[in-house]
Structure 1
Amino acid sequence: MKLTTQDLFPTRIWVFELDELLEQHPGWIDQILAMREASPVPAGRSNRQGWNSDKTVFAVPQFEPLQRLAQTAFVHAFKDLALKEPLRFQLEAWVNMLDVGGSNLSHVHPHTLLAGCYYLQACEQSSPIVFRDPRPGVMLTALPGTGVHSESTVSLHPKPGQLVVFPSWLEHRVELHTGPQARISIAMNAIQV
């Protein structure tokens, strides 16, 4: 008997370590706390027990180093996708802050090219981002288990300085945050221009 297997339709995410930005974090966190104080009503929809800014973070000059490196990271991801033709895009970004006990409901980022999240403040107790298996048929399987044809999720525990880039259609959520301080990230969308 001869056997070959082939795994079909992988879903790729990219994790960039941007350690050169770590020294910027204290100033950025101060800026974010001032933004929250000036506009305390959350602008987002999926955040529970926390705060979201509007999508203008990259209009703040202080965040230019992050915007520049994020742009480079997204360019890398687009090249990795081997697109038929190059595309022009811009990044929109917003703060996602989870207070202790906060979470983000499952969601996708419709009408965008790719999504991403940069982590400013996270610790070992910080809640993970959880990606759900995108194959709709696997939810209906009559073969429960943990193998390749079982419904699954993948949890990624963030650390400061990481930028995670992923398909905007990939459903994701953030588990209940139990860390000792707020979990602070900057979410991003690549928008075609």
Structure 2
Amino acid sequence: MAETHDLFVTRIYRADDIAPAKLNRELEAVAMSLSMDDVAGLRWCDKHGYPGYTSYASLNDLPWRFPEFERLVKLIDKHALAYAKQLHWDLRGMKPVCDSLWVNVMPEGGSHTSHIHPNSVISGTYYVAVPEGAGPIVYEDPRLGFHMAAPPRKKNAPEAFKSHVHFSPKVGTLMLWESWLRHEVPLNRAEGNRISVSFNYCLG
């Protein structure tokens, strides 16, 4: 008798509609204001060829500056803890703590190439504005570099067997993943800005 075992789980956490519509509108207004007024951030984006705007390299205290982000972090905290429990981590009295948080305003034609988030344990994105046709977030099989001569997967293979998995968010969607997982944002083909809030959690 033969049997197979599914091992080494890579778990992605998704929750929809985690924040009230009023908070989304407020976050969008702040994000658009920052995308016009954050001179240091705009300068960094221009220097590094980043399409649109991100506060990643300019503002590291958004929850302190704006109560809207402070409220968002409190909502995400609950989900980060639930996710950590699903991962069966031995937290040893600690809990996930938001270490950094930044805004992304991606216009039509923008994209974000494949990357990871070092020096953290949980990373994620909350979606504030998602125009129709906006690109998904794509996760890459972390074993991809070790596949060597393995044949490609069938196009209709189950999700767990795919080398790249796409998630299409909507306004109010929260995505969490372990920070070592490589991910990317393909070309935004939608008219209008795709606005998101990305963040990292460490244990504290």
The question of a shared fold, defined as TM-score above 0.5 by the shorter chain, is answered with yes
Q: How does 1:120-139 map to 2 (within 5 A)?
A: 120-135=128-143, 136-138=145-147
1:153 aligns to what? 164
Secondary structure of 1:4's match?
A: coil
Deviation at 1:176, TM superposition (A): 0.1
Q: How does 1:17-166 map to 2 (within 5 A)?
A: 17-40=16-39, 41=42, 43=44, 48-53=50-55, 54-59=59-64, 60-84=66-90, 85-91=92-98, 92-135=100-143, 136-138=145-147, 140-146=148-154, 152-166=163-177
- The answer to whether the Cα contact below 8 Å between 1:115 and 1:187 also exists between their aligned partners in 2 is yes
The Cα offsets for residues 11-54 of structure 1, whole Å up to 9 and x where unpaired, read as 00110123442222222211111112111416579873111013
Q: How far apart, in 1, do the equivalents of 2:16 and 2:48 lie?
A: 26
- The answer to whether the Cα contact below 8 Å between 1:46 and 1:106 also exists between their aligned partners in 2 is no
Gaps in structure 1 of 5+ consecutive residues: none
> Aligned to 2:194, which of 163, 183, 187?
183
Please say which of residues 162-171 and 24-33 is displaced more in the overlay.
24-33
Secondary structure of 1:48's match?
A: coil
> Aligned to 1:167, which of 175, 178, 184?
178
Deviation at 1:86, TM superposition (A): 3.2
Gaps in structure 2 of 5+ consecutive residues: none
Q: Kindly provide the amino acid, as one letter, of the partner of residue 181 in structure 1.
A: G
Distance 1:169 1:67, change over 3 A: same
Please say which of residues 149-158 and 26-35 is displaced more in the overlay.
149-158
May I ask how many residue pairs the two structures share in their alignment?
Answer: 191
Secondary structure of 2:24's match?
A: helix
Q: Kindly provide the amino acid, as one letter, of the partner of residue 57 in structure 1.
A: L
Q: How far apart, in 1, do the equivalents of 2:118 and 2:77 lie?
A: 20
Q: How far apart, in 1, do the equivalents of 2:48 and 2:105 lie?
A: 11
Distance 1:17 1:144, change over 3 A: closer
- The answer to whether the Cα contact below 8 Å between 1:21 and 1:65 also exists between their aligned partners in 2 is no
Q: How far apart, in 1, do the equivalents of 2:132 and 2:81 lie?
A: 30
Q: Kindly provide the amino acid, as one letter, of the partner of residue 146 in structure 2.
A: G
Q: Kindly provide the amino acid, as one letter, of the partner of residue 27 in structure 2.
A: W
Task: Kindly indicate which of the two structures has a greater share of residues assigned to strand.
Answer: 1
- The answer to whether the Cα contact below 8 Å between 2:32 and 2:105 also exists between their aligned partners in 1 is no
Taking only the aligned residue pairs, the percentage that are identical comes to 28
TM-score by length of structure 1 reads 0.89
